[in-house]
Protein backbone atom coordinates (compact mmCIF):
# COMPACT_ATOMS: atom_id res chain seq x y z
CA UNK A 1 0.00 0.00 0.00
CA UNK A 2 2.92 2.37 0.66
CA UNK A 3 3.93 2.11 -2.99
CA UNK A 4 0.44 2.51 -4.37
CA UNK A 5 0.20 5.49 -6.80
CA UNK A 6 -2.04 8.33 -5.68
CA UNK A 7 -5.60 8.21 -6.93
CA UNK A 8 -5.26 11.15 -9.32
CA UNK A 9 -6.31 11.28 -13.02
CA UNK A 10 -2.71 11.73 -14.15
CA UNK A 11 -1.26 8.89 -12.03
CA UNK A 12 -4.15 6.55 -12.82
CA UNK A 13 -4.12 7.49 -16.53
CA UNK A 14 -7.73 8.61 -16.52
CA UNK A 15 -7.28 12.11 -17.91
CA UNK A 16 -10.07 13.31 -20.14
CA UNK A 17 -9.36 12.53 -23.78
CA UNK A 18 -11.13 12.39 -27.09
CA UNK A 19 -11.60 8.74 -28.07
CA UNK A 20 -13.12 8.72 -31.55
CA UNK A 21 -14.96 5.61 -32.66
CA UNK A 22 -14.02 5.08 -36.29
CA UNK A 23 -17.15 3.80 -37.96
CA UNK A 24 -17.08 2.99 -41.70
CA UNK A 25 -18.93 6.20 -42.50
CA UNK A 26 -16.33 8.33 -40.70
CA UNK A 27 -13.41 6.52 -42.34
CA UNK A 28 -14.88 6.82 -45.84
CA UNK A 29 -15.73 10.50 -45.32
CA UNK A 30 -12.23 11.28 -44.00
CA UNK A 31 -10.44 9.65 -46.95
CA UNK A 32 -12.82 11.36 -49.39
CA UNK A 33 -12.19 14.77 -47.79
CA UNK A 34 -8.40 14.28 -47.93
CA UNK A 35 -8.59 13.34 -51.60
CA UNK A 36 -10.86 16.25 -52.51
CA UNK A 37 -8.52 18.73 -50.78
CA UNK A 38 -5.13 17.31 -51.78
CA UNK A 39 -5.75 16.80 -55.51
CA UNK A 40 -6.67 20.46 -56.23
CA UNK A 41 -3.72 21.68 -54.12
CA UNK A 42 -1.35 19.36 -55.99
CA UNK A 43 -2.74 20.45 -59.36
CA UNK A 44 -2.22 24.14 -58.52
CA UNK A 45 1.35 23.46 -57.29
CA UNK A 46 2.14 21.46 -60.42
CA UNK A 47 0.82 24.16 -62.75
CA UNK A 48 2.85 26.80 -60.92
CA UNK A 49 6.00 24.67 -61.07
CA UNK A 50 5.66 23.93 -64.76
CA UNK A 51 5.10 27.60 -65.56
CA UNK A 52 8.73 28.21 -64.57
CA UNK A 53 11.08 28.57 -67.56
CA UNK A 54 14.43 26.96 -66.83
CA UNK A 55 17.53 26.66 -69.01
CA UNK A 56 20.40 24.44 -67.85
CA UNK A 57 23.71 24.48 -69.69
CA UNK A 58 25.77 21.44 -70.55
CA UNK A 59 28.51 20.71 -67.99
CA UNK A 60 30.88 23.53 -68.81
CA UNK A 61 33.80 21.88 -67.02
CA UNK A 62 33.87 19.58 -70.06
CA UNK A 63 33.06 22.22 -72.68
CA UNK A 64 35.72 24.61 -71.40
CA UNK A 65 38.59 22.14 -71.24
CA UNK A 66 41.32 23.00 -73.75
CA UNK A 67 44.09 20.42 -73.29
CA UNK A 68 45.09 17.46 -71.08
CA UNK A 69 41.50 17.06 -69.86
CA UNK A 70 42.20 13.71 -68.21
CA UNK A 71 45.33 14.88 -66.39
CA UNK A 72 44.68 16.89 -63.23
CA UNK A 73 48.27 18.12 -63.07
CA UNK A 74 48.60 19.33 -66.66
CA UNK A 75 45.00 20.28 -67.46
CA UNK A 76 44.47 23.65 -69.18
CA UNK A 77 41.04 25.28 -69.48
CA UNK A 78 39.79 27.89 -71.90
CA UNK A 79 39.86 31.00 -69.75
CA UNK A 80 37.75 32.92 -70.51
CA UNK A 81 35.33 30.39 -71.95
CA UNK A 82 32.06 31.15 -73.78
CA UNK A 83 29.16 28.71 -73.94
CA UNK A 84 25.74 29.01 -75.57
CA UNK A 85 22.44 28.89 -73.73
CA UNK A 86 19.22 28.75 -75.75
CA UNK A 87 16.19 30.43 -74.20
CA UNK A 88 13.14 28.65 -75.69
CA UNK A 89 10.48 31.17 -74.64
CA UNK A 90 10.22 34.55 -73.00
CA UNK A 91 11.57 34.60 -69.46
CA UNK A 92 9.74 37.18 -67.39
CA UNK A 93 11.80 39.13 -64.85
CA UNK A 94 13.14 38.55 -62.34
CA UNK A 95 15.37 35.92 -63.94
CA UNK A 96 17.96 34.23 -61.74
CA UNK A 97 21.38 32.99 -62.79
CA UNK A 98 22.67 30.11 -60.68
CA UNK A 99 25.80 28.01 -60.80
CA UNK A 100 25.24 24.35 -60.06
CA UNK A 101 27.80 21.88 -58.72
CA UNK A 102 27.44 18.12 -58.88
CA UNK A 103 29.06 15.49 -56.67
CA UNK A 104 30.29 18.19 -54.28
CA UNK A 105 29.74 17.12 -50.66
CA UNK A 106 29.43 20.37 -48.75
CA UNK A 107 27.42 18.42 -46.16
CA UNK A 108 30.46 16.44 -44.95
CA UNK A 109 30.77 16.86 -41.18
CA UNK A 110 34.39 17.94 -41.23
CA UNK A 111 33.77 20.40 -44.05
CA UNK A 112 30.67 21.97 -42.44
CA UNK A 113 32.41 22.70 -39.12
CA UNK A 114 35.63 23.97 -40.75
CA UNK A 115 35.07 27.71 -40.24
CA UNK A 116 35.44 30.43 -37.64
CA UNK A 117 32.31 32.52 -37.13
CA UNK A 118 34.30 34.79 -34.83
CA UNK A 119 36.65 35.67 -37.68
CA UNK A 120 33.75 36.10 -40.11
CA UNK A 121 32.06 38.53 -37.69
CA UNK A 122 35.18 40.68 -37.79
CA UNK A 123 36.82 39.79 -34.47
CA UNK A 124 40.56 40.41 -34.32
CA UNK A 125 43.50 38.95 -32.45
CA UNK A 126 42.57 35.31 -33.11
CA UNK A 127 45.70 33.16 -33.15
CA UNK A 128 45.78 29.86 -35.08
CA UNK A 129 45.56 27.91 -31.80
CA UNK A 130 42.12 29.48 -31.27
CA UNK A 131 40.99 28.28 -34.69
CA UNK A 132 41.15 24.53 -34.12
CA UNK A 133 37.90 23.91 -36.05
CA UNK A 134 39.54 25.36 -39.16
CA UNK A 135 42.23 22.67 -39.40
CA UNK A 136 43.94 22.00 -41.76
CA UNK A 137 43.44 25.59 -42.98
CA UNK A 138 44.24 27.57 -39.82
CA UNK A 139 48.05 27.97 -39.96
CA UNK A 140 49.56 29.58 -43.05
CA UNK A 141 52.83 27.89 -42.12
CA UNK A 142 52.28 24.68 -40.15
CA UNK A 143 55.76 25.01 -38.61
CA UNK A 144 55.42 28.70 -37.94
CA UNK A 145 54.69 30.47 -34.69
CA UNK A 146 51.29 30.68 -33.03
CA UNK A 147 50.64 34.33 -33.82
CA UNK A 148 47.99 36.32 -35.66
CA UNK A 149 50.31 36.96 -38.62
CA UNK A 150 50.49 33.19 -39.22
CA UNK A 151 46.71 32.70 -39.19
CA UNK A 152 44.61 32.30 -42.32
CA UNK A 153 41.75 34.80 -42.32
CA UNK A 154 39.12 33.65 -43.11
CA UNK A 155 40.19 30.17 -42.14
CA UNK A 156 38.68 26.78 -42.81
CA UNK A 157 37.87 24.50 -45.71
CA UNK A 158 34.63 26.24 -46.71
CA UNK A 159 36.27 29.61 -47.22
CA UNK A 160 39.42 28.10 -48.79
CA UNK A 161 37.34 26.33 -51.43
CA UNK A 162 35.19 29.38 -52.30
CA UNK A 163 33.73 29.25 -55.81
CA UNK A 164 35.47 31.91 -57.90
CA UNK A 165 34.32 31.49 -61.50
CA UNK A 166 32.65 34.69 -62.74
CA UNK A 167 29.93 34.98 -65.37
CA UNK A 168 28.75 37.57 -67.89
CA UNK A 169 25.78 37.18 -70.24
CA UNK A 170 25.27 38.57 -73.73
CA UNK A 171 21.93 38.58 -75.56
CA UNK A 172 21.44 37.28 -79.14
CA UNK A 173 22.44 40.72 -80.49
CA UNK A 174 25.72 40.69 -78.56
CA UNK A 175 24.69 43.27 -75.95
CA UNK A 176 25.67 42.66 -72.35
CA UNK A 177 22.77 41.78 -70.08
CA UNK A 178 22.76 43.80 -66.85
CA UNK A 179 22.88 41.60 -63.77
CA UNK A 180 22.26 42.64 -60.16
CA UNK A 181 24.46 41.35 -57.35
CA UNK A 182 22.92 43.13 -54.36
CA UNK A 183 20.35 41.01 -52.56
CA UNK A 184 21.54 37.54 -53.56
CA UNK A 185 22.49 36.68 -49.94
CA UNK A 186 20.26 36.54 -46.88
CA UNK A 187 19.73 39.95 -45.27
CA UNK A 188 20.68 38.63 -41.83
CA UNK A 189 23.96 37.24 -43.17
CA UNK A 190 24.86 40.55 -44.80
CA UNK A 191 23.85 42.74 -41.86
CA UNK A 192 25.10 40.73 -38.88
CA UNK A 193 27.16 37.62 -39.65
CA UNK A 194 29.88 38.80 -42.04
CA UNK A 195 32.22 41.72 -41.39
CA UNK A 196 35.71 42.61 -42.56
CA UNK A 197 38.36 43.34 -39.97
CA UNK A 198 41.83 44.80 -40.37
CA UNK A 199 43.10 41.19 -40.51
CA UNK A 200 40.67 39.92 -43.16
CA UNK A 201 42.48 38.51 -46.19
CA UNK A 202 45.66 37.57 -44.31
CA UNK A 203 47.30 34.55 -46.01
CA UNK A 204 44.11 33.99 -48.02
CA UNK A 205 44.67 33.70 -51.82
CA UNK A 206 41.03 34.19 -52.99
CA UNK A 207 41.03 37.73 -51.56
CA UNK A 208 44.30 38.78 -53.19
CA UNK A 209 44.06 42.17 -54.87
CA UNK A 210 40.79 43.09 -53.13
CA UNK A 211 40.04 45.86 -50.66
CA UNK A 212 39.36 43.94 -47.42
CA UNK A 213 38.98 46.98 -45.19
CA UNK A 214 35.87 47.18 -42.98
CA UNK A 215 32.84 48.41 -44.89
CA UNK A 216 34.35 47.91 -48.35
CA UNK A 217 31.72 45.39 -49.41
CA UNK A 218 34.44 43.07 -50.67
CA UNK A 219 36.14 39.96 -49.21
CA UNK A 220 34.11 38.66 -46.26
CA UNK A 221 31.41 41.27 -46.95
CA UNK A 222 31.08 40.20 -50.58
CA UNK A 223 27.66 38.61 -51.20
CA UNK A 224 29.16 35.97 -53.51
CA UNK A 225 31.37 34.84 -50.63
CA UNK A 226 28.45 34.95 -48.18
CA UNK A 227 26.30 32.81 -50.48
CA UNK A 228 29.08 30.23 -50.70
CA UNK A 229 29.55 30.08 -46.93
CA UNK A 230 25.95 28.90 -46.44
CA UNK A 231 26.65 25.23 -47.11
CA UNK A 232 24.31 22.98 -49.09
CA UNK A 233 22.70 19.86 -47.67
CA UNK A 234 22.94 17.68 -50.80
CA UNK A 235 25.87 16.78 -53.08
CA UNK A 236 24.18 18.39 -56.11
CA UNK A 237 23.19 21.96 -55.41
CA UNK A 238 22.67 25.41 -56.88
CA UNK A 239 23.81 28.76 -55.55
CA UNK A 240 22.46 32.10 -56.68
CA UNK A 241 24.98 34.16 -58.65
CA UNK A 242 23.00 37.10 -60.04
CA UNK A 243 19.50 38.46 -60.58
CA UNK A 244 18.36 39.83 -63.95
CA UNK A 245 15.63 42.45 -63.71
CA UNK A 246 14.68 42.55 -67.40
CA UNK A 247 12.77 40.02 -69.49
CA UNK A 248 14.85 37.67 -71.63
CA UNK A 249 13.46 37.13 -75.11
CA UNK A 250 13.80 33.77 -76.90
CA UNK A 251 17.12 33.24 -78.60
CA UNK A 252 20.69 32.07 -78.17
CA UNK A 253 22.59 33.77 -75.36
CA UNK A 254 26.36 33.71 -74.82
CA UNK A 255 27.57 33.06 -71.27
CA UNK A 256 31.23 33.89 -70.68
CA UNK A 257 32.97 32.20 -67.75
CA UNK A 258 36.24 33.58 -66.41
CA UNK A 259 38.57 32.88 -63.51
CA UNK A 260 41.11 35.48 -62.42
CA UNK A 261 41.54 39.15 -63.35
CA UNK A 262 42.51 40.74 -66.65
CA UNK A 263 45.20 43.34 -65.93
CA UNK A 264 46.12 46.13 -68.32
CA UNK A 265 49.37 45.50 -70.11
CA UNK A 266 49.37 41.80 -69.22
CA UNK A 267 47.55 40.43 -72.26
CA UNK A 268 44.04 39.05 -72.51
CA UNK A 269 44.58 35.95 -70.39
CA UNK A 270 43.36 36.41 -66.78
CA UNK A 271 45.99 36.63 -64.07
CA UNK A 272 46.01 34.88 -60.70
CA UNK A 273 46.68 37.80 -58.37
CA UNK A 274 48.12 35.58 -55.65
CA UNK A 275 50.80 34.01 -57.88
CA UNK A 276 50.93 36.80 -60.49
CA UNK A 277 50.88 34.09 -63.17
CA UNK A 278 48.37 33.40 -65.98
CA UNK A 279 45.34 31.53 -64.64
CA UNK A 280 45.16 28.28 -66.60
CA UNK A 281 42.23 26.68 -64.74
CA UNK A 282 38.62 27.53 -64.06
CA UNK A 283 37.23 26.45 -60.69
CA UNK A 284 38.43 22.81 -60.49
CA UNK A 285 35.87 20.02 -60.04
CA UNK A 286 37.52 17.32 -62.14
CA UNK A 287 39.76 15.94 -59.34
CA UNK A 288 36.71 14.56 -57.50
CA UNK A 289 34.60 13.71 -60.55
CA UNK A 290 32.27 16.69 -60.22
CA UNK A 291 30.54 18.82 -62.83
CA UNK A 292 29.60 22.49 -63.16
CA UNK A 293 26.51 23.96 -64.80
CA UNK A 294 25.00 27.37 -65.34
CA UNK A 295 21.25 27.75 -64.85
CA UNK A 296 18.90 30.50 -65.99
CA UNK A 297 15.47 30.27 -64.39
CA UNK A 298 12.37 32.23 -63.54
CA UNK A 299 10.33 31.70 -60.39
CA UNK A 300 6.68 31.35 -59.46
CA UNK A 301 4.78 31.99 -56.23
CA UNK A 302 5.90 28.55 -55.06
CA UNK A 303 9.57 29.11 -55.90
CA UNK A 304 11.71 27.45 -58.55
CA UNK A 305 10.86 24.49 -60.74
CA UNK A 306 10.23 21.38 -58.66
CA UNK A 307 7.36 19.06 -59.58
CA UNK A 308 7.80 16.80 -56.53
CA UNK A 309 5.43 18.69 -54.22
CA UNK A 310 2.62 18.80 -56.77
CA UNK A 311 2.92 15.11 -57.64
CA UNK A 312 3.12 14.19 -53.95
CA UNK A 313 -0.16 15.97 -53.19
CA UNK A 314 -1.87 14.40 -56.21
CA UNK A 315 -0.65 10.88 -55.44
CA UNK A 316 -1.71 11.09 -51.76
CA UNK A 317 -5.08 12.54 -52.77
CA UNK A 318 -5.70 9.89 -55.45
CA UNK A 319 -4.68 7.12 -53.05
CA UNK A 320 -7.12 8.46 -50.43
CA UNK A 321 -9.98 8.50 -52.94
CA UNK A 322 -9.19 4.93 -54.02
CA UNK A 323 -9.17 3.80 -50.39
CA UNK A 324 -12.46 5.58 -49.76
CA UNK A 325 -13.97 3.85 -52.78
CA UNK A 326 -12.61 0.45 -51.69
CA UNK A 327 -13.97 0.84 -48.15
CA UNK A 328 -17.33 1.98 -49.52
CA UNK A 329 -17.63 -1.06 -51.81
CA UNK A 330 -16.55 -3.38 -49.00
CA UNK A 331 -19.07 -1.81 -46.63
CA UNK A 332 -21.93 -2.20 -49.11
CA UNK A 333 -21.10 -5.74 -50.27
CA UNK A 334 -20.26 -7.32 -46.92
CA UNK A 335 -20.99 -4.93 -44.07
CA UNK A 336 -19.74 -5.79 -40.64
CA UNK A 337 -22.21 -5.51 -37.78
CA UNK A 338 -21.10 -2.91 -35.28
CA UNK A 339 -21.45 -3.23 -31.54
CA UNK A 340 -23.52 -0.83 -29.50
CA UNK A 341 -21.21 2.11 -28.91
CA UNK A 342 -23.37 3.40 -26.08
CA UNK A 343 -21.74 0.81 -23.82
CA UNK A 344 -18.34 2.26 -24.62
CA UNK A 345 -19.50 5.81 -24.04
CA UNK A 346 -21.09 4.92 -20.72
CA UNK A 347 -17.95 3.09 -19.65
CA UNK A 348 -15.79 6.12 -20.46
CA UNK A 349 -18.08 8.52 -18.68
CA UNK A 350 -18.11 6.42 -15.54
CA UNK A 351 -14.30 6.42 -15.20
pLDDT of residue 118: 94
- Residue 249 dihedral angles phi and psi, to the nearest 5°: -80, 160
**Cβ atoms of 279 and 79 closer than 8 Å:** yes
Q: How much is the pTM?
A: 0.84
**Residue 321 DSSP SS3:** helix
First to last CA, the chain: 22
Burial class of residue 138 (count of CB atoms within 10 Å of its CB; 0-12, 13-18, 19+): buried
Q: What share of the chain is helix, strand, coil (3-state, %, to 5)?
A: 30, 20, 50
Q: How many Cβ atoms from other residues are within 10 Å of residue 126's Cβ? A: 19
CA distances, 196 to each of 19, 93, 124, 204, 212 (Å) = 60, 33, 10, 13, 6
* pLDDT at 345 (0 to 100): 57
Q: At 28, is the secondary structure helix, strand, or coil?
A: helix
3-state secondary structure of 227: helix
| CA torsion angle 330 331 336 340 (round to 10) | 150
In whole angstroms, what is the distance from residue 159 CA to residue 116 CA?
A: 10
The DSSP string of 30-51 is: HHHHHHHHHHHHHHHHHHHHHT
Residue 196 CB-density burial (10 A; 0-12 exposed, 13-18 middle, 19+ buried): buried
d(CA 39, CA 299): 22
Which portions of the chain are predicted below pLDDT 50?
A: none
Contact 203, 156 (CB under 8 A): no
**According to the model, what pLDDT value does residue 347 have?**
52
The helix-helix angle for 308-333 and 24-50 (nearest 10°) equals 160
Domain borders along the chain are 1-52+305-351, 54-106+163-185+230-298, 115-155+187-218
Tens of pLDDT, residue by residue over 162-190, are 999 999 999 999 999 999 999 999 999 99
Using an 8 Å Cβ cutoff, are 202 and 319 in contact?
no
Rg (CA), the chain: 30
Rounded Cα distance between 199 and 116, Å, is 14
Q: For residue 109, what is the DSSP state?
A: H
Amino acid sequence: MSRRPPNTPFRQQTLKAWRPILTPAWVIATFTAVGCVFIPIGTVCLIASQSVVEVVSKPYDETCCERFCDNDERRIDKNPCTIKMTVPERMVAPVHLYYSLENYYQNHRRYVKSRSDRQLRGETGLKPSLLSDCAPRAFANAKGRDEVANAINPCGLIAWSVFNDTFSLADPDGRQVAMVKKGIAWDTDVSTKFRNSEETGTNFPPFAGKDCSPGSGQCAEDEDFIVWMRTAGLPTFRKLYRRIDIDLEPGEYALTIQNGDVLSGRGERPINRWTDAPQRLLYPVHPFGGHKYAVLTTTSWIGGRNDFLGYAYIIVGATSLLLALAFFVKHKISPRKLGDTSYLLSAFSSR
